Amino acid sequence: MKLVRFGDAGAEKPGLIDAAGDLRDLSAEIDDVTGAVLGPDMLDRLRAIDTDALPFVPGQPRIGPCVGDIGRIICIGLNYSDHAAESGMAEPDEPVIFIKGCAATGPNDTVTIPLGATKPDWEVELAVVIGSRTQHVSEDDSLDHVAGYAVANDVSERAFQHEMGGQWTKGKSCEGFAPLGPWLVTADEVGDPQKLGIWLEVNGHRYQDGSTADQIFGVRTVVSYLSRFMVLNPGDVILTGTPAGVGAGIQPEPVWLKPGDTVRLGIDKLGVQEQRYVAFEAAQSVAAQ
Protein backbone atom coordinates (compact mmCIF):
# COMPACT_ATOMS: atom_id res chain seq x y z
CA MET A 1 0.00 0.00 0.00
CA LYS A 2 1.25 3.45 -0.96
CA LEU A 3 0.04 6.19 1.38
CA VAL A 4 0.39 9.81 0.30
CA ARG A 5 -0.45 13.34 1.46
CA PHE A 6 -1.56 15.89 -1.11
CA GLY A 7 -2.60 19.53 -1.25
CA ASP A 8 -1.24 22.88 -0.15
CA ALA A 9 1.56 22.94 2.42
CA GLY A 10 0.12 22.77 5.90
CA ALA A 11 -3.29 21.64 4.64
CA GLU A 12 -2.49 18.27 3.12
CA LYS A 13 -5.15 15.56 2.80
CA PRO A 14 -4.50 11.83 3.18
CA GLY A 15 -4.60 9.61 0.14
CA LEU A 16 -3.37 6.41 -1.38
CA ILE A 17 -2.17 5.26 -4.77
CA ASP A 18 -4.41 2.57 -6.25
CA ALA A 19 -3.37 -0.41 -8.38
CA ALA A 20 -3.65 1.69 -11.55
CA GLY A 21 -1.35 4.36 -10.14
CA ASP A 22 -4.16 6.86 -9.56
CA LEU A 23 -4.47 9.05 -6.48
CA ARG A 24 -7.48 8.37 -4.23
CA ASP A 25 -8.73 10.57 -1.38
CA LEU A 26 -8.69 8.90 2.06
CA SER A 27 -10.17 11.87 3.93
CA ALA A 28 -13.41 10.02 4.73
CA GLU A 29 -11.43 7.26 6.41
CA ILE A 30 -8.63 9.04 8.30
CA ASP A 31 -7.75 12.61 9.18
CA ASP A 32 -4.13 12.40 8.06
CA VAL A 33 -1.20 10.02 7.52
CA THR A 34 0.40 10.34 10.95
CA GLY A 35 1.71 8.05 13.64
CA ALA A 36 -1.85 7.59 14.89
CA VAL A 37 -2.76 5.54 11.81
CA LEU A 38 0.50 3.67 11.24
CA GLY A 39 -0.03 0.81 13.68
CA PRO A 40 -0.63 -2.71 12.31
CA ASP A 41 -4.38 -2.79 13.09
CA MET A 42 -5.12 0.50 11.34
CA LEU A 43 -2.96 -0.38 8.34
CA ASP A 44 -4.86 -3.68 8.01
CA ARG A 45 -8.13 -1.73 8.06
CA LEU A 46 -6.91 0.60 5.34
CA ARG A 47 -5.78 -2.35 3.21
CA ALA A 48 -9.30 -3.78 3.39
CA ILE A 49 -10.88 -0.68 1.86
CA ASP A 50 -12.28 -0.97 -1.66
CA THR A 51 -10.03 1.58 -3.35
CA ASP A 52 -12.39 1.86 -6.34
CA ALA A 53 -14.97 3.32 -3.97
CA LEU A 54 -12.63 6.10 -2.82
CA PRO A 55 -12.90 9.50 -4.54
CA PHE A 56 -10.55 9.88 -7.50
CA VAL A 57 -8.28 12.93 -7.26
CA PRO A 58 -7.94 14.59 -10.69
CA GLY A 59 -5.05 16.62 -12.02
CA GLN A 60 -1.63 16.80 -10.44
CA PRO A 61 -1.93 18.27 -6.95
CA ARG A 62 1.15 19.09 -4.91
CA ILE A 63 2.45 16.07 -3.02
CA GLY A 64 3.39 16.79 0.59
CA PRO A 65 5.73 14.87 2.89
CA CYS A 66 4.32 11.36 3.12
CA VAL A 67 4.10 11.49 6.94
CA GLY A 68 2.52 14.37 8.83
CA ASP A 69 3.17 15.57 12.37
CA ILE A 70 6.55 13.83 12.55
CA GLY A 71 7.89 13.65 16.08
CA ARG A 72 11.58 13.28 15.19
CA ILE A 73 13.82 12.81 12.19
CA ILE A 74 16.67 10.64 13.48
CA CYS A 75 19.69 10.14 11.22
CA ILE A 76 22.41 7.53 10.91
CA GLY A 77 25.72 8.89 9.62
CA LEU A 78 28.51 7.14 7.68
CA ASN A 79 26.40 4.02 7.17
CA TYR A 80 27.91 2.99 3.82
CA SER A 81 31.56 1.98 3.63
CA ASP A 82 32.12 3.82 0.36
CA HIS A 83 30.66 7.05 1.77
CA ALA A 84 32.79 6.81 4.91
CA ALA A 85 35.83 6.36 2.68
CA GLU A 86 35.03 9.36 0.47
CA SER A 87 34.49 11.42 3.64
CA GLY A 88 37.96 10.47 4.88
CA MET A 89 36.51 8.85 7.99
CA ALA A 90 36.89 5.37 9.46
CA GLU A 91 34.01 2.93 9.16
CA PRO A 92 32.16 3.26 12.50
CA ASP A 93 32.07 0.43 15.02
CA GLU A 94 28.56 1.46 16.10
CA PRO A 95 25.85 3.51 14.38
CA VAL A 96 26.53 7.27 14.34
CA ILE A 97 23.39 9.10 15.48
CA PHE A 98 22.31 12.71 15.00
CA ILE A 99 19.02 14.59 14.79
CA LYS A 100 17.74 16.54 11.81
CA GLY A 101 16.04 19.51 13.41
CA CYS A 102 13.71 20.62 10.62
CA ALA A 103 10.26 19.78 9.32
CA ALA A 104 9.86 17.38 6.43
CA THR A 105 8.85 18.91 3.11
CA GLY A 106 7.24 17.60 -0.04
CA PRO A 107 9.35 15.46 -2.38
CA ASN A 108 9.09 17.96 -5.23
CA ASP A 109 9.03 21.21 -3.26
CA THR A 110 11.56 23.91 -4.10
CA VAL A 111 14.55 23.92 -1.72
CA THR A 112 16.00 27.23 -0.59
CA ILE A 113 19.77 27.45 -0.25
CA PRO A 114 20.16 29.08 3.17
CA LEU A 115 21.60 32.52 3.74
CA GLY A 116 25.38 32.33 4.11
CA ALA A 117 25.62 28.82 2.67
CA THR A 118 28.75 28.05 0.65
CA LYS A 119 28.68 24.24 0.38
CA PRO A 120 25.14 22.90 -0.12
CA ASP A 121 25.12 19.15 -0.74
CA TRP A 122 22.82 16.20 -1.36
CA GLU A 123 22.30 12.73 0.19
CA VAL A 124 19.74 10.20 -1.04
CA GLU A 125 18.62 8.01 1.87
CA LEU A 126 16.22 5.21 2.74
CA ALA A 127 13.73 6.54 5.31
CA VAL A 128 12.25 4.13 7.84
CA VAL A 129 8.91 5.10 9.38
CA ILE A 130 8.07 3.68 12.79
CA GLY A 131 4.56 2.25 13.27
CA SER A 132 4.45 1.20 16.91
CA ARG A 133 6.10 2.18 20.20
CA THR A 134 9.57 0.66 20.22
CA GLN A 135 11.85 0.23 23.22
CA HIS A 136 14.63 -2.33 23.76
CA VAL A 137 13.51 -4.37 20.77
CA SER A 138 15.68 -7.21 19.49
CA GLU A 139 17.03 -7.26 15.95
CA ASP A 140 14.86 -10.31 15.27
CA ASP A 141 11.71 -8.36 16.13
CA SER A 142 12.67 -4.83 15.09
CA LEU A 143 11.11 -4.89 11.62
CA ASP A 144 7.74 -5.68 13.20
CA HIS A 145 7.78 -2.08 14.46
CA VAL A 146 8.30 -0.57 10.99
CA ALA A 147 5.20 0.78 9.26
CA GLY A 148 6.96 1.42 5.96
CA TYR A 149 9.65 3.13 3.95
CA ALA A 150 10.14 6.25 1.84
CA VAL A 151 12.70 8.17 -0.18
CA ALA A 152 14.46 11.01 1.62
CA ASN A 153 17.02 13.64 0.65
CA ASP A 154 19.19 14.53 3.64
CA VAL A 155 20.06 17.96 2.23
CA SER A 156 23.20 19.24 3.94
CA GLU A 157 25.27 22.40 4.18
CA ARG A 158 28.85 21.16 4.66
CA ALA A 159 30.35 24.45 5.84
CA PHE A 160 27.74 24.68 8.58
CA GLN A 161 28.26 20.99 9.35
CA HIS A 162 32.05 20.73 9.47
CA GLU A 163 33.49 24.24 9.78
CA MET A 164 31.44 25.71 12.62
CA GLY A 165 32.30 23.55 15.60
CA GLY A 166 31.72 20.17 14.02
CA GLN A 167 28.07 19.93 14.99
CA TRP A 168 26.37 17.97 12.25
CA THR A 169 22.86 19.08 13.19
CA LYS A 170 23.75 22.68 12.20
CA GLY A 171 24.32 21.63 8.62
CA LYS A 172 21.29 19.37 8.41
CA SER A 173 18.45 21.44 9.86
CA CYS A 174 17.84 24.39 7.56
CA GLU A 175 14.32 24.97 6.28
CA GLY A 176 13.47 22.62 3.41
CA PHE A 177 16.34 20.24 4.11
CA ALA A 178 14.14 17.12 4.53
CA PRO A 179 12.20 16.25 1.35
CA LEU A 180 10.28 13.04 2.12
CA GLY A 181 8.17 10.87 -0.19
CA PRO A 182 6.43 10.77 -2.60
CA TRP A 183 4.81 7.83 -0.83
CA LEU A 184 5.01 5.90 2.40
CA VAL A 185 5.17 2.34 1.08
CA THR A 186 4.08 -0.15 3.73
CA ALA A 187 6.63 -2.72 4.83
CA ASP A 188 4.69 -5.69 3.43
CA GLU A 189 4.94 -4.23 -0.07
CA VAL A 190 8.67 -3.48 0.18
CA GLY A 191 9.91 -6.79 1.54
CA ASP A 192 13.62 -6.92 2.39
CA PRO A 193 14.82 -3.32 2.93
CA GLN A 194 18.41 -4.43 2.22
CA LYS A 195 17.68 -5.19 -1.45
CA LEU A 196 16.85 -1.76 -2.84
CA GLY A 197 18.70 0.21 -5.50
CA ILE A 198 19.29 3.84 -4.50
CA TRP A 199 20.42 6.71 -6.75
CA LEU A 200 20.63 10.48 -7.19
CA GLU A 201 21.23 12.84 -10.13
CA VAL A 202 22.06 16.55 -10.30
CA ASN A 203 21.12 18.29 -13.57
CA GLY A 204 20.83 14.86 -15.21
CA HIS A 205 24.26 13.61 -14.10
CA ARG A 206 24.16 10.54 -11.88
CA TYR A 207 26.39 11.01 -8.85
CA GLN A 208 25.04 8.34 -6.51
CA ASP A 209 24.21 4.80 -7.62
CA GLY A 210 24.22 2.18 -4.88
CA SER A 211 22.22 -0.41 -2.98
CA THR A 212 20.90 -0.64 0.55
CA ALA A 213 22.63 -4.03 0.62
CA ASP A 214 25.83 -2.06 1.21
CA GLN A 215 24.72 -0.49 4.48
CA ILE A 216 27.13 -1.14 7.34
CA PHE A 217 24.22 -1.36 9.77
CA GLY A 218 21.02 -2.65 8.20
CA VAL A 219 17.52 -1.53 9.15
CA ARG A 220 17.07 -4.37 11.64
CA THR A 221 20.20 -3.31 13.49
CA VAL A 222 19.49 0.42 13.33
CA VAL A 223 15.96 0.17 14.76
CA SER A 224 17.09 -2.18 17.52
CA TYR A 225 20.12 -0.04 18.35
CA LEU A 226 18.18 3.23 18.54
CA SER A 227 15.55 1.62 20.77
CA ARG A 228 18.24 1.05 23.41
CA PHE A 229 18.75 4.79 23.86
CA MET A 230 15.36 6.31 23.10
CA VAL A 231 11.75 5.24 22.78
CA LEU A 232 10.77 5.29 19.12
CA ASN A 233 7.19 6.43 18.62
CA PRO A 234 4.75 5.94 15.76
CA GLY A 235 5.50 8.48 13.06
CA ASP A 236 9.17 8.89 13.93
CA VAL A 237 11.35 8.83 10.81
CA ILE A 238 14.84 7.32 10.64
CA LEU A 239 17.18 8.27 7.79
CA THR A 240 19.60 5.39 7.32
CA GLY A 241 22.59 6.97 5.60
CA THR A 242 23.76 7.61 2.07
CA PRO A 243 26.06 5.81 -0.39
CA ALA A 244 29.11 7.36 -2.03
CA GLY A 245 28.74 10.18 -4.52
CA VAL A 246 27.86 13.19 -2.39
CA GLY A 247 29.14 16.55 -3.62
CA ALA A 248 31.74 16.82 -0.88
CA GLY A 249 33.36 13.59 -2.04
CA ILE A 250 33.77 14.44 -5.74
CA GLN A 251 37.39 14.49 -6.92
CA PRO A 252 39.46 16.42 -7.81
CA GLU A 253 37.09 19.22 -6.72
CA PRO A 254 33.87 18.99 -4.67
CA VAL A 255 30.61 19.90 -6.40
CA TRP A 256 28.19 22.11 -4.49
CA LEU A 257 24.56 22.83 -5.27
CA LYS A 258 23.79 26.26 -6.70
CA PRO A 259 20.65 28.22 -7.58
CA GLY A 260 18.94 26.74 -10.63
CA ASP A 261 20.15 23.18 -10.03
CA THR A 262 17.69 20.29 -10.21
CA VAL A 263 18.16 17.20 -8.05
CA ARG A 264 16.36 13.97 -8.92
CA LEU A 265 16.58 10.89 -6.69
CA GLY A 266 14.86 7.58 -6.11
CA ILE A 267 14.84 4.16 -4.50
CA ASP A 268 13.48 0.92 -5.94
CA LYS A 269 9.79 0.40 -5.07
CA LEU A 270 9.60 3.76 -3.26
CA GLY A 271 9.31 6.30 -6.06
CA VAL A 272 11.20 9.36 -7.25
CA GLN A 273 11.70 12.93 -5.99
CA GLU A 274 12.75 16.04 -7.89
CA GLN A 275 13.67 19.41 -6.37
CA ARG A 276 14.79 22.72 -7.81
CA TYR A 277 17.20 24.80 -5.72
CA VAL A 278 16.84 28.57 -5.36
CA ALA A 279 18.80 31.30 -3.64
CA PHE A 280 17.60 32.57 -0.27
CA GLU A 281 17.07 36.08 -1.60
CA ALA A 282 14.95 34.84 -4.50
CA ALA A 283 12.82 32.71 -2.17
CA GLN A 284 12.27 35.66 0.15
CA SER A 285 11.22 37.83 -2.79
CA VAL A 286 8.65 35.27 -3.93
CA ALA A 287 7.32 34.84 -0.39
CA ALA A 288 6.83 38.61 -0.07
CA GLN A 289 4.66 38.82 -3.19
Q: Which domains, and CATH codes, for the chain?
A: 67-288 (3.90.850.10)
- Reported confidence tier of residue 83, pLDDT bands at 50, 70, 90: confident
pLDDT averaged over the chain?
95
Of 283, 246, 220, the C-alpha closest to 125 is: 246
At 55, which amino acid appears?
A: P
pLDDT beyond 80 at 89: no
Of 19, 5, 44, 211, the C-alpha closest to 126 is: 211
**Which residues have C-beta within 8 Å of that of residue 63, sequence separation ≥ 6?**
4, 5, 6, 106, 107, 108, 181, 182
| Predicted TM-score (pTM) of this structure | 0.96
Of 97, 179, 193, the C-alpha closest to 148 is: 193
Separation between Cα atoms, residue 130 and residue 186, nearest integer Å: 11
pLDDT beyond 90 at 85: no
pLDDT beyond 60 at 198: yes
- Give the mean pLDDT of 166-191: 94
- Confidence at residue 84, expressed as pLDDT on a 0 to 100 scale: 83
Considering only 83-92, 181-190, 209-218, which range has the smallest mean pLDDT?
83-92
Residue 260, strand partner residues = none
Burial-class residue 133 by CB neighbours within 10 Å (0-12, 13-18, 19+). middle
156-169 per-position pLDDT tens digit: 999 999 898 877 89
233, 162 Cβ separation under 8 angstroms = no
pLDDT beyond 60 at 286: no
202, 78 Cβ separation under 8 angstroms = no
231-284 per-position pLDDT tens digit: 999 999 999 999 999 999 999 999 999 999 999 999 999 999 999 999 987 666
Residue 266, strand partner residues = 199, 272
- Reported confidence tier of residue 26, pLDDT bands at 50, 70, 90: very high
Separation between Cα atoms, residue 187 and residue 14, nearest integer Å: 18
